[in-house]
Structure 1
Amino acid sequence: MTGPGDIRAASGAPTEAVLGRDGLDALVQVLKRQGRTVVGPTVRDRAVVLAELDSADELPHGWGVELEAGRYRVRRRTDGAVFAHSAGPQSWKSFLHPPRVRQWTAERDADGGLTVREDEPPGVSYAFLGVRACDLHAIRILDRVMIGGKYPDPAYGSRRKGVFLVAAECTEPGATCFCVSMGTGPAVDTGYDLALTEVVDDGGHRFLCRSGSEEGAAVLAELPRHQADEVTRTAAAEAVRRAAGNMGRSMPPTDLRALMRDNLEADRWDDVTARCLNCGNCTMVCPTCFCTTTEDVSDLTGDHAERWRRWDSCYDLDFTLLHGGPVRASERSRYRQWLTHKIGTWHDQFGSTGCVGCGRCIVWCPTGIDLTEEAHALHQEATRQRPTP
């Protein structure tokens, strides 16, 4: 249990400790007692998905994944690891910026007029358990987009307010991961309340836990824990360092923003267009894509109407529809828009890349299109065409 060597926050609460399985169980229960909705990974429908948790038993103990372009499979592990799986089909965006949100309802009055009632932002208080470094960066990006500008989104702001973030450092990246190229992982740096690093070795199955906020330290103080020891610290650091060297993908070693800007007419765009279905899967699973549209629905009598906001995709032909037709009528222009915006012009709008290297768009593309492969191909084409000095 606790020892005299506990590192302490200014409040006197511990900032670093080692948790066992009982500590993970207690963490979920402490967060629930605080009135939070705890969301974390669990295995359902042959995938690791994000869902509300009642206990740590629902976490994916002993489950891993096999990933490739256009391929996803869960597999059993022999070590009982909890967080040894890569990004699944969902991201935390699904809870902060849901696929479909009602904005208002309207009822016809007896005198023929309408009474419109705007929906109030939800009052949910979330705790996200098991947030990877790449997804932690994705949440920060969404924060800049959705509430960091001149016109903040109240629905996002309500869901985001007070979210308790329990990060899980990545120790086993998937074949489609490339967070190192994007500078977003696998180590967790800032922006968390608690950070877990899972260690499974001869010393047992345990989690090095450190707090990143006073609130996190206060929660850690309520958990059954042991004093952090140097063996566990070293094993945790080595696991993360090893993960950084085992990325399945990488981006070309060049300025991606300039690569996108300077190669808008490259032949490679035709090659990828021949394979792209324009289905929009990549935008749906992307943890930072945020585009929406609105739709109005009414009942058969016309006495009740609702306006809903739902996710939209730049791959949709109607996404840029104007009175004279769509701005991007060709499949080529729509794929090019997505990729050049994601890793290029996002910088101009929001001051960073829009890609965090999670690899979801590669895994869930039905034809296996790999944006890292496309970036390398564009870089190679540009290099071949560059005049020799």
Structure 2
Amino acid sequence: MAAMTETRTPGPGDGGAAYVLDRAGLDALVAALRARGRTVVGPTARDGAIVLAELESAGELPYGWGVELEAGHYRLVRRADGAAFAHSAGPQSWKNFLLPQRVRQWTADREPDGRLTVRAERHDPASYAFLGVRPCDLRAIAVQDRVLLGGRHRDDAYSARRTGAFLIVVECTEPGATCFCVSMGTGPATGPGYDIAMTEVLDEAGHRFLARAGTAEGAEVLAEVPRRPADAATRAAASGSVAAAADRMGRTMPPVSLKALMAGSLAAERWDDVAARCLTCGNCTMACPTCFCTTSEDTSDLTGDHAERWSRWDSCYDLDFSHLHGGPVRASSRSRYRQWLTHKLGTWYDQFGSSGCVGCGRCIVWCPVGIDITEEAHALHQEALARGAAPEETP
């Protein structure tokens, strides 16, 4: 499993060992991973969107497809070229595989003699290979690792899926209109934590992928596929494409400490404005690659002799999420949106040492009324400036 470290990972333009794969090499890469017994999951065009699904071959990748994004808007569009990874984050994230929406925790059965037998669910280790992980989503996986693998409250089901997962990151060269990973420090170039990193290059010299290993297993897999040493022109094209993507981000966050901004904006008038638009549907939390909240629900059969406990995704927008004796703590849409935003951008630092936002823009795209997290942060910043209480700008 590729794990997050503090060491710097070489980028596409660095002088470290790198190779060039063509489309046949990408096919061989998928075949090599499947031959190792791994379930390869990657993007494919299906049902009018780029979705994550099991791949039997690299031919199922969305060659020639891109996306058109805006607040509350997503469209799959044809591209003039045959790029496989020239699309932004889709409706799913890798959370759908590492932290599925519904997981059984235990079963209980009443035996004929009246005794009750409780069996904890066994979570067998999975053997995933994720192909096409974006740098922002790589950071999101690291965030969920910190939440679900660290501390006293380890999630065994998550651990079984995450341990041994093989991560192939594809650096972003086509940011969407709702992307703001540069503001969050999560892309478009990749950080540490991958097994293989690739940058897609498509120019007059052909369609190819600059690849480099981040782990020993990544190097072993690359050694099994047709490849050639990276040439200077491919390195330069890859580095230039990633740098250009950083300059084409569709959104930004205000250049201040977001943690300080959130802490100083609890009584801001802007919360009333967003509350008038928010449906508290929870779409943003379902699409977010780092939201991790779950609840437990118990079920039984009609005889009462068999019962099960399941864990399923929950949302802080749910009225019952903060329910205590006497009623919910956060009864208004104002308080629930404020809880989500201030936790994601502010108090997440206090709990986990980082932001809970990676700048993927999914919450903007999949909000049915088009509420934009970056617009709200800028509005809060402007309101703080107007009252002379804005935090200092970040360097």
Match of 1:277 in 2: 279
- The amino acid of 1:320's aligned partner reads S
SS state at 1:288 partner: coil
Match of 1:6 in 2: none
Picking from 289, 294, 306, the partner of 2:296 is 294
Identity of aligned residues (%): 71
- The amino acid of 2:223's aligned partner reads A
Q: What is the rounded CA distance, in whole Å, between the counterparts of 1:113 and 1:227 in structure 2?
A: 66
Match of 1:122 in 2: 124
Picking from 333, 336, 339, the partner of 1:337 is 339
Deviations 1:270-300 (A, max 9, x none): 0000000000000000000000000011111
Deviations 1:36-61 (A, max 9, x none): 11110011110001111110011111
Match of 1:169 in 2: 171
Unaligned runs of 5+ in 1: 1-13
Matched, 1:211 2:213: yes
Over 2 Å off, 4+ runs: none
Match of 1:7 in 2: none
Aligned pairs (5 A) from 1:86-105: 86-105=88-107
Q: What is the rounded CA distance, in whole Å, between the counterparts of 1:148 and 1:78 in structure 2?
A: 45
Aligned pairs (5 A) from 1:185-204: 185-204=187-206
Match of 1:64 in 2: 66
SS state at 1:290 partner: coil
- The amino acid of 1:127's aligned partner reads A
Match of 1:264 in 2: 266
Q: What is the rounded CA distance, in whole Å, between the counterparts of 1:219 and 1:289 in structure 2?
A: 32
- The amino acid of 2:356's aligned partner reads G
- The amino acid of 2:107's aligned partner reads T
TM-score (norm 2): 0.94
* Shift, 1:352, TM fit: 0.2
Deviations 1:199-235 (A, max 9, x none): 0000000000011111111111111012210000000
Matched, 1:35 2:47: no
Match of 1:226 in 2: 228
Match of 1:372 in 2: 374
Deviations 1:162-188 (A, max 9, x none): 111100000000000000000000001
Q: What is the rounded CA distance, in whole Å, between the counterparts of 1:99 and 1:145 in structure 2?
A: 17
Q: What is the rounded CA distance, in whole Å, between the counterparts of 1:325 and 1:297 in structure 2?
A: 24
SS state at 1:189 partner: coil
Q: Contact (CA 8 Å) 1:15, 1:220: kept in 2 or not?
A: no
Q: What is the rounded CA distance, in whole Å, between the counterparts of 1:231 and 1:387 in structure 2?
A: 49
Q: Contact (CA 8 Å) 2:363, 2:372: kept in 1 or not?
A: yes
Match of 1:131 in 2: 133
Match of 1:140 in 2: 142
Q: What is the rounded CA distance, in whole Å, between the counterparts of 2:225 and 2:150 in structure 1?
A: 34
Q: Contact (CA 8 Å) 1:103, 1:118: kept in 2 or not?
A: yes
* Shift, 1:152, TM fit: 1.2
Q: What is the rounded CA distance, in whole Å, between the counterparts of 1:336 and 1:189 in structure 2?
A: 30
SS state at 1:373 partner: helix
- The amino acid of 1:76's aligned partner reads R
Q: Contact (CA 8 Å) 1:15, 1:217: kept in 2 or not?
A: no
Moved more, 243-252 or 210-219: 210-219
- The amino acid of 1:301's aligned partner reads T
* Shift, 1:148, TM fit: 1.5
Taking a change above 3 Å as real, the CA distance of residues 116 and 321 of structure 1, as seen in their structure-2 partners, is same
Deviations 1:12-31 (A, max 9, x none): xx941000000100010100
Q: What is the rounded CA distance, in whole Å, between the counterparts of 1:121 and 1:16 in structure 2?
A: 37
SS state at 2:320 partner: helix
Deviations 1:283-332 (A, max 9, x none): 00000000000001111111111110000000000001111111111110
* Shift, 1:73, TM fit: 0.4
- The amino acid of 1:215's aligned partner reads E
* Shift, 1:149, TM fit: 1.4
* Shift, 1:387, TM fit: 7.3
Q: What is the rounded CA distance, in whole Å, between the counterparts of 2:366 and 2:153 in structure 1?
A: 32
Q: What is the rounded CA distance, in whole Å, between the counterparts of 1:31 and 1:387 in structure 2?
A: 54
The number of residue pairs the alignment matches comes to 375
Matched, 1:247 2:249: yes
- The amino acid of 1:285's aligned partner reads A
Q: What is the rounded CA distance, in whole Å, between the counterparts of 2:265 and 2:111 in structure 1?
A: 57
* Shift, 1:94, TM fit: 0.7
Q: What is the rounded CA distance, in whole Å, between the counterparts of 2:232 and 2:389 in structure 1?
A: 54
Q: Contact (CA 8 Å) 2:270, 2:380: kept in 1 or not?
A: yes
- The amino acid of 2:33's aligned partner reads L
Q: Contact (CA 8 Å) 2:71, 2:365: kept in 1 or not?
A: yes
Picking from 360, 364, 384, the partner of 1:358 is 360
Match of 2:75 in 1: 73
- The amino acid of 1:281's aligned partner reads N
- The amino acid of 1:92's aligned partner reads W
Deviations 1:247-280 (A, max 9, x none): 0000001110000001101000000000000000
Moved more, 301-310 or 366-375: 301-310
Q: What is the rounded CA distance, in whole Å, between the counterparts of 2:338 and 2:191 in structure 1?
A: 32
Q: Contact (CA 8 Å) 1:177, 1:249: kept in 2 or not?
A: yes
Q: What is the rounded CA distance, in whole Å, between the counterparts of 2:217 and 2:389 in structure 1?
A: 57
Q: What is the rounded CA distance, in whole Å, between the counterparts of 1:19 and 1:152 in structure 2?
A: 39
